[in-house]
Amino acid sequence: MQRTWLTTCRTAVLVTSTIMASLLLAACASGPQILPPSGQHPVRQPAEVKIYQSQPKKYELLGPVSVRITPEMKWDERGNSNPAFEALLSQAGAKGANGLLLMSEEGTYDYRPGAGYKGTYYLVPLKREPRTALAQAIFVLEE
């Protein structure tokens, strides 16, 4: 009788440990947590908005931002398009964002060329007609 009870206890501990380990691994392997806006965020200056090429761990999605690309926003001799990035950062900051996510929903952009901002290069979603840069204003809670 004791052997059966002991075997049952060991099996229960093994099953419980396996379930706990699976849940822990699933939590660690899960993708980013995207939340709706929690309320109004104060307006930020463009310098206070960080550019993200990929999604941070946890953030609020504040909405899309876009900038129509004009001749003065063309790449300079180093491949930088500082005026275009400044315009995107300004729009994101006006929404209270502390982050600019260079992503757009599939099908809303035509291609993702590389462009620089102050010497750092990113892939930016662009529409061809009219030529427009697309991104998302986000409020990052956890990187």
pTM over 0.85: no
Residue 101 pLDDT > 80: yes
What is the average pLDDT score of the chain? Answer: 86
Note the CATH architecture for domain 34-142: 2-Layer Sandwich (3.30)
**Out of 26-30, 55-59, 86-90, 126-130, which region has the weakest mean confidence (pLDDT)?**
26-30
**Tokens 């901002």 appear where?**
117
pLDDT (mean) for 80-99? 98
pLDDT tens-digit readout, 13-67 = 444 444 444 444 444 557 999 999 999 999 999 999 999 999 999 999 999 999 9
Contact criterion met (CB below 8 Å) for 60 and 125: no
